[in-house]
Structure 1
Amino acid sequence: MLDAILASTASDSGSPAVTAADFAALPLPESYRAVTVHKDEAEMFSGLTTREKDPRKSLHLDEVPVPELGPGEALVAVMASSVNYNSVWTSIFEPVSTFAFLERYGKLSPLTARHDLPYHIIGSDLAGVVLRTGPGVNAWRPGDEVVAHCLSVELESADGHNDTMLDPEQRIWGFETNFGGLAEIALVKSNQLMPKPKHLTWEEAASPGLVNSTAYRQLVSRNGAGMKQGDNVLIWGASGGLGSYATQFALAGGANPICVVSSPQKAEICRSMGAEAIIDRNAEGYKFWKDEHNQDPREWKRLGKRIRELTGGEDVDIVFEHPGRETFGASVYVTRKGGTIVTCASTSGYHHEYDNRYLWMSLKRIVGSHFANYREAWEANRLVAKGKIHPTLSKTYSLEETGQAAYDVHRNLHQGKVGVLALAPQEGLGVRDPELRAEHIDAINRFRNI
């Protein structure tokens, strides 16, 4: 299988040297290697603080059987994947064990019962090659080089047919479903697949999926903030996995990002992307909480004053929120009258506190945004494929080292995105369009060169 993929990738013409029929004829292995958590270890971190929980102790590399292929599904040979914060949550069994998700999904139908297992194969990104497609799949064939977005939907309810994120059975693949991307083979629905950007390596192509799509919906889509030219956008964690894409979307869309970072090194990353307005929250000493229970409105006001210094006297139109509890009070305060706080996560805590007077009396909006629908994910991937938005990969690990990769993300020791090689034997493989790559090579390597 790997030999066929590497032979196909090695074609100088840009067209596969191995045909769809060749791939379809390849025998599937009975088992494959996958990164898992174990159901009988779900209480292993009981009594520890979030910071004390170590993904290196809970993540395993197991040999697992290849799952049954159902209608509308595809088996993909995973060349590379990446670590997202949902993989950290899974690994430390917070806010709940993901086995609760698998049990619920397993009750939906005889086919979904496959997902309710004593192990959970995690991972919500991949770049790879289609191996098999199930009945009813017409758009994809064996041998197609693909990336996958992580939205899994059933679409049997009318609720999801205007925006598939509103499907009552909406789930995040590899987090709320099994058979995720941190493995040598993954099981996906065919409507998760998108064309792999041809100028990127496997590990680069695997890194944008979840965060790029999430940032696109949150900031650009009408389902999120609906950013327009000239908007001032406050971006928390602007050099991180989510923030690095939000910063790129703001710059590409004619907006003005105000990038909040936590070190001079991260500030330099933002400058290298083209951002000019940067706040180093550690260097400037912002402390939005006096203690565990009380925030400090004086710090909100100090942040607002600093923003106006950077924008020529203007408040922010949009706040790109994901830290949650630590920053949310400040986010609501600094947003301009009629502006939008759009939130997709709560990495510092889920229980947000803010002064509602600054929301209702100034007609501000709080918008919840969760991942992206297929159309939004497709548009976000299309921008990557065209070289308009670039991967933010900083480091790549082997599948055996996934625990360390998740630890780095958990402790915020990384920049941008952390990649994981699955079947790919080394970095640098999978490029189909070297000319486009050469045109954007500095931007592609930006986070590696810091």
Structure 2
Amino acid sequence: MSDTASYGFDTLQVHAGARPDPATGARQTPIYQTTAYVFRDAEHAAALFNLQEVGFIYSRLTNPTVAVLQERIATLEGGVGAVCCSSGHAAQIMALFPLMEPGKNVVVSTRLYGGSVTQFSQTIKRFGWEARFVDIDDEAAVAAAIDDNTRAIFCESIANPGGHIADLDALSAISAKAGIPLIVDNTSATPYLCNPIKHGATLVVHSTTKYLTGNGTVTGGCVVDSGNFDWSASDKFPSLSAPEPAYHGLKFHETFGNLAFTFHSIAIGLRDLGMTMNPQGAHYTLMGIETLSLRMERHVENAVKVASWLETDPRIEAVTYAGLPSNPCYGRIASICPKGAGALFTIAVKGGYDACVKLVDSLEIFSHVANLGDTRSLVIHSASTTHRQLSPEQQEAAGAGANVVRLSIGIEDAKDLIADLDQALTKALS
């Protein structure tokens, strides 16, 4: 598509990045199930390896099916480029990799998926990186956590599990003043509900496993590059601004301009970390994105109905859905998520831990799985599963206390979901 700016979201989610296959005329993007690609000649091969020409070398780096998906997600997010990888966790490491060095730190929201909290608090220590956790709503605390060694701020647009909506405008102002990128995980919102780049985000990450694919079939991740950050404005990001020894002194920002991060993530990130997305997985995600707006509209519609019913039920202590007028984040919907607050939230159940376990075991339509963003409604008790490795204090900070159950509302009939919750709550508290 030549001028994507002139097309609406519904058109772009079907067409962006895709063209009829030049060899066969196939309308759907083919699955290019190949490891390598034949070079025209030795000169062509050398140009590709020297980054003097763009093309396909080896599927650890680039693949035609994955390339379509990268362009589509970048277009929907309003970025200049994107890099897909094997999972959402891989995407988070890919986002940080060009920015960080031993001794450097990243300021991170306390309201994150439990696996992300573990990745940031434990795993990245092995790289010599530090994560500084703060309440992302406390602007003074965020600013105070930044020092000369800070290389990014990281948050979720709609937090997993509690559905908290981050004030991206405030966070981007803090990151801009500090001269560091704002990285936003937009998995729970998707680009249909939220566009972090419009609010100043430098990088956007996704677990494409979730709403983008939408059918619970494949894992994947993506990092979207806004192209808006000046990597050469300081000496904080030498991987992008300084000579790269592996490419004979090439400077990524000087050479590739606003695509510096994207090229670095492919030429070095995927080359050396190898967290590659497979082409069949990319194909499933492309098919899922074709109906993204339709699904998200139903997800949000159902979430409002279910959350509103739960809020009035005497067996429920609290509902964290930002789409409810009673929620502290409700006022942010109009500016941050104008099409809705997503479909992920938690409920605090009277009866505590035991009641939560009985509730999960008694549900019939809701599937008890460690996933979210499926067309099916999903449920999990975070404290005993996804957030189990965290301390009680960390669980509470993340919105995953012992009496809390996370719901991911699907696209089924809302009255059936309410009836299922009703009968399960009756059994759980009997």
Higher helix fraction (1 or 2): 2
Shorter-chain TM-score above 0.5: no
Higher normalized strand content (fraction of residues): 1
Normalized against structure 2, the TM-score is what? 0.34
TM-score normalised by length of structure 1: 0.33
